[in-house]
Structure 1
């Protein structure tokens, strides 16, 4: 339960707010009211979601059709007293489940971490007395006191403020601290523009204020986001969907083959027990026991590779999902941009200057435009830079190996610009000591400071909004330091040009005052009568990261659509999008519902159907509320897009949770965003997403290579057993031998494909179609052809050796070893599914050769070690058999390469 008017507090007058809350502006609440409200509204905490029990999470690891097959095989082989087979299969299942359980045991703590956003202590006025209480005890109607450095503990409506600025970037995405005011706002004012409100979890960066609590706990804006996180649907990844579909298909195929084998055996008059054993042998042979383990291990290898490239994976499947991504929805502030305001242009004495460098690092140059005087020859420019430096209440410090601002980011940008010009902060403050100041207030829209000069004069500097500064100016300063009549039209034209580029523009003015003036009392009293001298404009923006521009271009060349979703203003968002390359220069902001930049207000006016129609065409969304980010991600997913969402703030968390893959920022990101994500970038660099996409595509490629390699073995073994049943002859491969084949070759051979490096051109091809099957027609054809070759070789060699007097054990050993030899040669074919083996760097994956060597060693033990002969019913082979098998394996390799060449020619003709 919470008070009424929950969506209208910003629209009510202060009197109506206090009346609705039954609170007093000076006395606050009394003890009896507090007790009653704590009973009604509960503690000021965000509710935790019930965690999934560990036992349930463990059981869910077995919820997979392929695992069902393995468990059934385990039971059947156990009851048939094939204990070795049953034990090995069960071990594979348990290891696979354990790996998945450990990965997912990192409980989703997104909502719990939201609790940390609420300050532990709060200063309130109760019974007319200032008290410090636990923030959890706050109730609606409490009077909350704010000061610089405080974390806001509940949602409040302000009724007093002095120079109050609050960093709301984590909640709204706005890169600049919000200037607070007390004026009543329109009903439809967006969350980011509610300047008479303060919200739980945000940080006071400057000034002081008081507000009456209007919402606590789950009913705060932060609490609503927690609810959205809890409600967000957990999306199956493309790999999960494909593996599940593939496993279901495999389940029915294997069961069908086993039943067919059993039925055929009975029709041929074979004993039921013997026929049933043959069906079990076929099932064990056809089941790719190593597939779940190798999939998990391959993904884990991808996780390790990603960690080396500044991306920490929180869920294994996230590695592959990045490779399937078709759309990246990126936050702007701190993700595509530096999250550091930077002055990029200055206009002084009628001349324009560009400033290089980005962020708060004081490295860069001030370059005059064509025909403009140099820095040292423009006194107005020097005044403008000095004003930005000393008419300033913030500090620029080098801490933790980077430059940081203590105070307002805008003032930090002004300090950096001055330092780039060669001014020294300490010298300027010493030469121009401050005598008095008028702090910036949102209603006033300017800051004024009074300084003594080295010449013994007094100098007033004024900085603020263009409108407020210009109306106090009569003259403007020339480059020689003289004065001339103010040219407002030329200045406003520059302002419009700079604003159109998304730059935030501040104006500067000065006035020489008599030496006896020591304060600004007269200026405050008669400020409208003052006649100041305009000295220049400074225009700033949170600039894009240089590496982000390159990364966006690379992702676009890979067929991935980049969308910017930000809480910042439309003009700023559009300007940054053009600089980064998300928008082209000719794309404008005034094309109705088909425009390339939409605001949260536009989205609020759209129906769900209209949003679905335009969501794929629009590239930039500005002033977007948290629930709208979630809505956009869901709309894209409705178009079967695989969506990656980046973000760093609390406001991003629900969308991060809903997206196919959520990517949080490790340095600037909130704990909420990190816990709601699948992947965390340790360097907050969008270019790391490019590396992640590349790794994701490589992982998927390698998984397909493994599946394309392993299935012919299983299908070939199944076909050998079926043919033996059809012909009524002895089984060439026993169940225990099939299990040896499946497990050893999967580990020693197939797993080595997980270490294959990326394919050439991997970032120039289009993303995979989300609904495309896991195996293409080309791969299915190859699996059938290689399976047929294995059937021909193994069955033929078995029958040939039998006809030449070999023992049954020798013949079966020969058939099993042929599988090993052909799989080893075929492994080389599978290093690339389309390129020629002979154009592949042979030593680029040494694991392949190590795996082949290890497999041959294991097979030699299988053949020649007496204890292995007893366990697996094998027998030693003569040297001549090896020559035949190696020749057959080489022939298979050449035939597969020929088939790949025919497919390449076919694709060229189609193109």
Structure 2
């Protein structure tokens, strides 16, 4: 088979030509070589139109230096200098440098994780290089590349059309016009006003058909780049969790300001001095401001996204991570998600006769040769879809030597499958013939309609198709037609088709699916299958994987229901069959309106509205259309079901660990506030200064960001129901537990300090004991929070979190040095208890 001849398009990248083809032209059979690509990339740069600044160390440092905690530390150092305490000021500045270094390192690491995730989610392009068709990042394209574009793909660069099959493109990003533009191959006699129809522009979306182009411009040299637009400049809206934590931090900050002012006034009233009073206020501000919370949220989401990516799911929107733990309904497609998407022809049916094909089949009876012939003719010449690959494989093995593989025929017209008519046709020109041959394949009922069969004959065919489908097969009908006119009709219905037969394809169920669905059910997540296949096929697959297939609703039944009726019907229906894309959207909306949190998988252009409507849209990364990936929150890096369940499990773990980290943050600040305020208010000597707060922050930050982020999941995490919508990050009970635990530590610390002062112990000794007890109390709070989260289970199981060992070891070593080295203790205004 062949495509009609195509005029060569000049390569705009001047320079040495590829060996074996003329100067300035790409070889249409092999494309550019890898060596040539590297030369062109070094000349033209990456194919990126992006206004977002790249993350640099200097940018991260500038952000850290503008944080309130850093400014408070500088202010405290300045006050120590004004008071003449140079040693204290320099020591504090040294700690400032340490905190800045750790914060910059952590912030930059988090930012780099986010950058790498964005690079993973960048558009891909299917390109011809080194004689092979391969997927590459769109950013790696160079002028001269031969690129394949398909329905649902974002055009990855500017280029000239060299092959077009019903190709239509939405260029509204550039023109503002939402009407799609038909594209065609350039002709030598084309008029100037036709040139735009032969060009594809970076950023436009292919809404129909497929084609091939040769890249003429990349990156800033594209039309999109020249007008300064960016596909990545749209900021993502704040998630509910971000809004909640921001509100919490603002409330905490207002309370901190009020307490600090109160402390400054109280200190000034008791001592009569302003500078020490301001220093006490700064100390309290440092101890009370929960600046860790935004950092914790960013770190948890970034590292959580990386964990989820390691499980085979790319996070395109961070808000999806917090929603994963709320998912109550998971809507999935059958093909490629529950099944392996590795199709093989299993059954052939022609005029009441049937042949089963398996590994032992060595010969296909001649009665079925015409059926296979027209299956191949109705498929793409270079098939990508697994179903069409199966037809070609069966054709090459079953029709070899029969004269029915028409390598010399030319494809001259295509009729695409539509939601209204689920059938497609290819029109072929036969050399030396006076007519055209048309091959059609599609849903059996659509093919019967095209063939204008009688009611009785149609019912016989559909009954047998249903019988084949009950064995889990995907069933298609095949038809043929002859066309004797020079012009091709607009619609497939204009041909006089005759029915050829039925074909049944087997797509094996993935072996891990049944266990993953059982895990979802145990976790309270309802799994709903939505497929375009026959009800009997859907029931067979549902039964095999563990989905309830007792009641099945068809797309026709869904179409006949009102919204209220559909909301009532979905309460006991887990399997939908013969569903059209617009009906998927109605089903998703019905679940949403019923109060469910919906995750949904999809791969096609028509799935995009439903993916966008779902709380979590999950696109197929390998076979999914680019538009589906763009609107989805998650993208499967391998198209199967198991990673979805892993993502739900990790989403629950991330949220549970985030609750622990925020609870610890609340609890650990209470004894710090008490140790700063109470001595001033009752007239005792101060316990804490800024340097002590810095020391405590060096413990708190790693614990919150590293220890709790790496906390293992509860053993019963996937046996708990989904988190209810609207649940606050810190419930009243969780908040009360944190406050109570922190208050208990504060009571112990202040009790020790008061008791030692009351019994006449020296102030440095009392302050040292109180500070050590405060440090140990902070460590103890780690275990208290873990115990509350794990309901008393594994609270002391350190072997499950080696980062906790590291933090405990470093804290213990620092405290040991402080208590054994007199000079170091003196910097903190303490005494070395172990050196006495």
**2:831 pairs with 1:875:** yes
Q: What's the offset of the Cα at 1:728?
A: 1.5
- The answer as to whether partners of 1:99 and 1:296 remain within 8 angstroms in 2 is no
State yes or no: 1:820 paired with 2:775.
Answer: yes
d(CA) in 1 for partners of 2:63, 2:565: 38
8 A contact 1:656–1:673 mirrored in 2: yes
Q: Which residue of 1 aligns with 2:504?
A: 539
Contact conserved, 1:565 with 1:622, CA < 8 A, in 2? yes
Alignment partner of 1:504 is 2:504: no
Aligned to 1:413: 390
Check whether the contact 2:620–2:637 (CA below 8 A) recurs between aligned residues.
yes
Correspondence list, 1:744-823, <5 A:
744-747=699-702, 751-823=706-778
Aligned position for 2:400 = 429
Aligned partner (choices 512, 519, 523) of residue 558 of structure 1: 523
Distance 2:732 2:718 in 1: 23
Give runs of aligned pairs for residues 495-644 of structure 1, distance below 5 A: 495=465, 503-506=474-477, 537-540=502-505, 545=510, 547-548=512-513, 550-560=515-525, 581=547, 585-591=551-557, 595=561, 622-624=579-581
In structure 2, what is the Cα distance between the partners aligned to 1:62 and 1:575? Answer: 60
Matches within 5 A, 1:122-201: 146=163, 152=167
Q: Match of 1:311?
A: 313
Counterparts of 2:608 and 2:122 in 1: how far apart (Å)?
8
Q: 1:429 to 1:111 in 2, by over 3 A?
A: closer
The residue number in structure 2 matching 1:102 is 112
Q: Write the distance in 2 (CA, Å) between the matches of 1:728 and 1:870.
A: 23
Bigger Cα displacement from structure 2, 609-618 vs 737-746: 609-618
Consecutive unaligned residues of structure 2, counting only runs of 5 or more, are: 1-46, 81-88, 126-137, 148-155, 172-178, 186-193, 209-223, 416-423, 431-438, 485-496
CA contact (8 A) 1:58 1:101 kept: no
Q: CA deviation at 1:737?
A: 1.0
Cα distance in 2 for residues equivalent to 1:277 and 1:448: 87
Distance 1:797 1:715, change over 3 A: same
| Equivalent position of 1:853 in the other structure | 809
Pair 1:494-2:459 in alignment: no
Cα deviations across residues 260-298 of structure 1 (Å, max 9, x unaligned)? 323444555653333332222222222345555555444
Tell me, yes or no, if the aligned pair for 2:820 and 2:835 is still in contact at 8 Å: no
Preserved CA contact (<8 Å) 1:329 1:562? yes
Contact preservation (8 Å) 1:646, 1:656: yes
The offset of 1:543, in angstroms, is: 6.8
**Structure 2 Cα separation of the partners of residues 562 and 583 of structure 1:** 11
Aligned residues: 686
CA distance in 2, matches of 1:823, 1:49: 49
Cα pair 1:229 1:653 within 8 Å, conserved: no
Q: 1:621-648: per-residue Cα shift (whole Å, max 9, x none)? A: 954479x97x998998899976656555
Q: CA separation of 1:409/1:265 partners in 2, compared to 1, >3 Å: closer, same or farther? A: closer
In 2, are the aligned partners of 1:559 and 1:764 still within 8 Å (CA)? yes
The equivalent residue for 2:243 is 241
Asked if 2 retains the 8 angstrom alpha-carbon contact of 1:748 and 1:854, the reply is no
Q: TM-score, normalised by structure 2?
A: 0.64
Counterpart in the other structure of 1:260: 262
Which residue pairs with 2:37 in the alignment? none
Gaps of 5+ in 1: 1-46, 124-133, 139-143, 157-190, 202-209, 356-363, 367-374, 397-403, 420-424, 451-461, 474-485, 510-519, 522-531, 599-608, 881-911
Cα deviation, residue 688, structure 1: 0.6
C-alpha deviations, 1:713-735, integer Å up to 9, x for none? Answer: 21111023222222121122222
- Which residue matches 1:516? none
Tell me the equivalent position of 1:904: none
Is 2:73 the partner of 1:51? no
Give the 3-state SS of the residue equivalent to 2:833 in structure 1. Answer: coil
Deviation of the 1:684 alpha carbon = 2.2
Superposed CA deviations along residues 798-817 of structure 1, whole A, max 9, x for unmatched, are 12223344332222221121
Greater mean deviation of Cα atoms: 856-865 or 647-656: 647-656
Aligned-partner Cα distance in 2 for 1:854–1:799: 29
Taking the aligned partners of 1:228 and 1:54, their CA distance within structure 2 comes to 14
Tell me the SS of whatever aligns to 2:553.
coil
- Alpha-carbon deviation of 1:541? 7.2
The equivalent residue for 2:40 is none
Deviation string, structure 1 residues 365-422 (Cα, Å, up to 9, x no partner): 79xxxxxxxx99xx9x8456665556664899xxxxxxx9747755533466x69xxx
Structure 1 residue 860 displacement after superposition: 0.7
The alpha carbon displacement at 1:547 in A equals 4.0
Q: Report the alpha carbon displacement of residue 864 of structure 1 after superposing the two structures with TM.
A: 1.5
Indicate the residue corresponding to 1:165 in structure 2.
none
* Other-structure match for 1:281: 283
Contact 1:656–1:676 (8 Å) recurs in 2 = yes
Distance in 2, matches of 1:792 and 1:291, equals 25
Alpha-carbon separation, structure 1, partners of 2:378 and 2:158 = 34
Checking the alignment, whether the CA contact within 8 Å between 1:646 and 1:664 is kept in structure 2 is yes
Partner Cα distance (1:577, 1:870) in 2: 74
Partner of 1:901: none
Which one has the largest radius of gyration?
A: 1
> C-alpha displacement at 1:507, in angstroms?
5.4
Supply the distance in 2 between the matched residues of 1:223 and 1:536 (Cα, whole angstroms).
31
- Tell me which residue corresponds to 1:844: 800
Conserved in 2, the CA contact under 8 Å of 1:200 and 1:222?
no
Indicate if the aligned counterparts of 1:667 and 1:684 stay in contact, CA closer than 8 A.
yes
Report Cα offsets for 1:469-503 as digits up to 9, x if no partner.
99999xxxxxxxxxxxx988644432355579894
SS in 2 for 1:222: strand
Check the 8 A contact 1:322/1:693 in 2, yes or no: yes
1:656-715 deviations in Å (ceiling 9; x for gaps):
789776654443346676677665433222311211121121122122222222322211
- 1:775 Cα offset (Å): 0.9
Q: What are the residue-to-residue correspondences of 1:302-451 with 2, within 5 Å?
A: 302-313=304-315, 319-325=321-327, 334-335=336-337, 337-343=339-345, 347=349, 382-383=365-366, 393=376, 406=383, 410-414=387-391, 429-430=400-401
TM-aligned CA distance change 1:792 to 1:264, over 3 Å: same
Measured at CA, do residues 316 and 686 of structure 1 come closer, stay the same or move farther in structure 2, by a change above 3 Å?
A: same
**SS of structure 2 residue aligned to 1:755:** coil
| Residue number in structure 2 paired with 1:685 | 640
**Alpha-carbon distance between aligned partners in 2 of 1:750 and 1:696, rounded to the nearest angstrom:** 17
- 1:697 paired residue number: 652
Q: Deviations over 1:549-586 (max 9, x none)?
A: 654554454344667788x6897997799577387534
1:327–1:563 Cα contact (<8 Å) kept = yes
Which of 668, 672, 681 does residue 717 from structure 1 map onto? 672
TM-score calculated relative to the size of structure 1: 0.59
Question: Given the alignment, which residue of 663, 671, 688 partners 1:733?
Answer: 688
Counterpart CA distance in 1 for 2:634 and 2:62 is 24
Q: Write the distance in 2 (CA, Å) between the matches of 1:250 and 1:502.
A: 61
- Secondary structure of the corresponding residue to residue 751 of structure 1: helix
Question: 1:53: how far off?
Answer: 4.3
Q: What is the root-mean-square deviation in Å for CA atoms of aligned residues?
A: 6.2
Tell me how far 1:101 sits from its aligned partner.
3.9
Contact kept in structure 1, 2:288 and 2:673, CA below 8 Å: yes
Deviations 1:437-491 (A, max 9, x none): 99998799699999xxxxxxxxxxx996779999999xxxxxxxxxxxx988644
